Amino acid sequence: MADAPPRRARRERKPSKFQRAADGSMTLMEHLADLRSRLLIAVVVILVGTAASLALSKNVIVFLAEPYCASQHAVQETADGLVGCNFNLQSPISHISLYLKISLYMALVGTAPIWLYQLWAFIAPGLHRNERKYAYFFIGIAAPLFLGGAVLAYFVVSHGMQFIMLLSGIGEGMNINLDLEAYINFYVAVMMVFGIGFEFPLIMLMLNVMGLVTAKRMRGWWRIVVLVSFTFTAIFTPTPDPFGMTALAICMLLLYGVALIVATLNDKRKGITDEDQWDDEEASDIGPSDHMTAEATVGASSLDDDDYPGEPERRNRLGRRVEGYDDIT
């Protein structure tokens, strides 16, 4: 019987770029080349998204201008009839820069999954498996929270614009001519502030998952959280009306309550109870007094008067010998 032909040895599968980056086998130049390629992909995707968004930029500007156009003070009466929602531009090319800016914002939001993945693929190999799991969780929550803050900002500006326009009725014959670019920048600033405000409870929850803050400590900080929330909204909310400040602060407090519930469940899962934690105003236990008495007795009995002949015996209340003065401590 003829011998069977020898089987071909299986080719060893080469480790992927992620595995090489995770085990530290990649050189510094390879890391830099990987970073360059990922940044290039992210930039190209954003540029393509910006070019594609130019067709919708005008519609987005009209959508953002709707709160101002809907107010009765935006309508101006002329000889030809009523004309409303007139904006000013500072230069002949201001509308071009405005379209490009809106298109860039749309591209950053629309292509976020791609360029965020490129950023994540470069950072993830340096993290442990459980750290990557938590990062997926927090990134998945952070994006909807930010979008929720932006949506709330639109409704806040819609109501706040009515309040702002009421101020134009103070003087007779007073007209408000808004600069379109400044108006869009104002809108974007409000959305950014509301989006960042919605991320604050998520940061506190992240600190709890990392073990830096417990649920009991978060409950003890509720007064500080209320003060910080209203102070943050009062300083960084561009609208002067109290509606926007109150709406953002209430939403931040509600989200903080949800984060507190999740932190409490996380502490129970880890076996951390309130009895295991010291209160901020509770004194720590330094041990029973009998223990200190026993140490003082041992210290006093270890002294021998024969070691100091001819000297008067002078001792403090702990039984220790003092020299030349009374130690009342």
pLDDT of residue 3: 57
pLDDT over 70 at 212, yes or no: yes
Give the tens place of pLDDT for each residue, 87-140: 788 888 888 888 999 999 889 888 888 888 888 888 877 777 777 777 788 878
Both tokens of residue 146? Answer: 């930010």
Contact 251/153 with Cβ under 8 angstroms? no
Give the tens place of pLDDT for each residue, 142-198: 888 888 888 888 888 777 777 666 665 544 555 667 788 888 888 888 888 888 888
* 293 lies in some domain: no
**Cα 104 from chain centroid?**
23
Q: Helix 222-236 and helix 180-209: axis angle, to 10°?
A: 160
* 289 lies in some domain: no
* 280 lies in some domain: no
pLDDT over 70 at 303, yes or no: no
pLDDT grade, residue 329 (50/70/90)?
A: very low
Give the integer Cα–Cα distance in Å for 192 and 172: 35
* 211 lies in some domain: yes
Q: Where are the beta strands (DSSP E) in 17-162?
A: 75-78, 81-84, 87-88
Whole-prediction pTM: 0.64
**Residue-number span of the structural domain to which 238 is assigned:** 25-274
Average pLDDT of the chain is 75
CB atoms within 10 A of CB 9: 6
What pairs with residue 179 in β-bridges?
88
Identify the H or E element spanning 265: helix 242-270
pLDDT of residue 26: 76
pLDDT over 80 at 47, yes or no: yes
* 283 lies in some domain: no
Name residue 329's amino acid: T
pLDDT grade, residue 301 (50/70/90)?
A: very low
* 4 lies in some domain: no
* 325 lies in some domain: no
Query: Into how many domains does the chain fold?
Result: 1
Q: Helix 242-270 and helix 180-209: axis angle, to 10°?
A: 20
* 103 lies in some domain: yes
